[in-house]
Chains A and B, each alone.
Chain A
Amino acid sequence: MTLFLSEAGQSVVTGTFGRAMKRAGEALGAMSGQIIDVQTPQVRRCSAADVLALAGGADSVVLAVYVRIFGSIEGHSLLLFAPPDAHRFAQILLAGLFGPGEAPAQTAGNVLAYDDLELSALQEAGNVTISAFLNELGMHLHEPVQPTPPQVVIEMAGAVLDAVLLDLVSDTDQILAARTTFSEGGRAIDGTLLVLPRADSLRVLLDALGAIGI
C-alpha cells in the first residue's frame, strides 16, 4: 500500500514532529537540568533500505532506543545514534545531574562500551523523545497511544531493523524518518527518530494528523 502525500501533507507531518520535539526538548531539559533544544529539520517517508543507508549500512553499529507502540496505532519506534554521538549526548545529559567535574568520565578507548549511567540516560532520553511524538499523535487521535518501556541496544543497524520490519507488510515507504538534532549550548548531536507504523496504522496515523487529502 502506497499512500500519496502532497507537499502540504508532508508539511503537516513535519510540523507534528516539530511540535513534538519542542516538547521533547523541554522534557529533556527538565530531566537533565540543561537547556536542550531538539529540532527535526528533515522528516521523510522512506523504505527500510533507505533507513539502512542512513545508518551507514546493515552492519554499521548503532545505539538504538526501541519502543513498541500499541493502542489505536500499532507499530514500533526507534531513536538511533552513531556510537560516538551517543556518548557525547550521554555526557550532555549527565553533566546537568552532577556538579562541575563530577560527571563520570567518558569510557576511553572502546566506543561501544557504555557505563550504566550513560545507558540509563540514553534510554530515558529515547523514551522522552519517542513519547513526545506519541503524545502529540494521541492529541490528534483523541485517544492515547501507548508505548512499552524502552529498550536500549548497541547492535548492527540491520539486526535492529529486521526485528521490526517483520511487522511491516510492504517494502514501500512505510517508515517516517526524522533527522533529529539535540543541541545544548554550542554542542549539537545528530540522531534519527524512526516511526514504523504497521501497514493498517500508517493510514490511521496520517489521517489523524490531517495529512491525507490536502
Chain B
Amino acid sequence: MTVAGDPSLLVAGIGEMVMSSSSDAHLVAYGLGSCIALAVWDPRTRVAGLAHFMLPTGPANATSPVKFIDSGIDTFLKAVEGRGAVMNRSILKAAGAAAMLTVGGGLAIGKRNSEALKAALAQRGLELTASALGGTVGRSVQLEVADGRFLVKSVSFVNEL
C-alpha cells in the first residue's frame, strides 16, 4: 500500500469517488467497515474508478454523490465511462460490507450493502470479478491504475484480488 501524502494517491472518502487514467496513480479508500468500495478498471483504455458507498438506499446527494448505492451507482459508472472506460469489458471488484460492531444486535448494514451492490450491478448486466465482502474485519483498498491490481489490506493481512 502507498503512503499518505503521495501526490499520485487519490483518496475516496465516504460518499466520494475518484478516477484516473494516469499510470502512476493509485486509487484508495481507507478504513472500510460496513461501507463498500467498488473498483472499475478497463484493461484496454486503463481507465480506473473507485467509489466509496456508505448505505444501500438514499437520495442523490451533490456533496456525497456515491453515498448511497441505489442513487449513486449510475453516477459513478457514467463518470468512469465518461473518462473512457467501457463497462462491458471492464473488471469490477469490491471490498467491505463487514459487520464490525455486533453488540445490541448490530446494524447489519454491511450485509444489506453487499446485497444492494450485487443487485444494482445485476440490473445493469454487470457482475463482480472478485470481491472481499462481509466478515468482521475492517479493510482499506487500493486500485492500481497501471495494471488493475486491487489490494485489500486489513489489520493483519494484505490480499490481492
- A residues near B (Cβ < 8 Å) are 48-49, 52, 57-59, 61, 66-68, 70, 76, 112, 148-151, 153-167, 171
- B residues near A (Cβ < 8 Å) are 4, 13-14, 30-35, 54-55, 63, 98, 100-104, 107, 109, 137-140, 153-156
Contact of A151 among B54, B102, B138, B156 (CB under 8 A): B102
Residue of A76, A151, A159, A164 contacting most chain B CB atoms (<10 Å)? A159
Q: Is the interface of B mostly helix, strand, loop or mixed?
A: loop
Q: List the B side residues contacting A149 at CB < 8 Å.
A: 103
Q: Is the CB of A161 within 8 A of B155?
A: no
Q: Is the CB of A162 within 8 A of B35?
A: yes
Q: Is the CB of B155 within 8 A of A156?
A: yes
Q: List the A side residues contacting B63 at CB < 8 Å.
A: 171
A59-B140, A155-B155 as given contacts; A166 in contact with B34, CB under 8 Å? yes
Q: Is the CB of A148 within 8 A of B33?
A: no
Q: List the A side residues contacting B102 at CB < 8 Å.
A: 151
Q: Is the CB of A155 within 8 A of B156?
A: no
Q: Is the CB of B101 within 8 A of A66?
A: yes
13 extra interface residue pairs, beta carbon distance < 8 Å, beyond A148-B103, A163-B109: A49-B13, A57-B4, A66-B103, A154-B155, A155-B138, A158-B30, A158-B138, A158-B140, A159-B31, A159-B32, A160-B33, A165-B54, A166-B55
Q: Is the CB of B100 within 8 A of A155?
A: yes
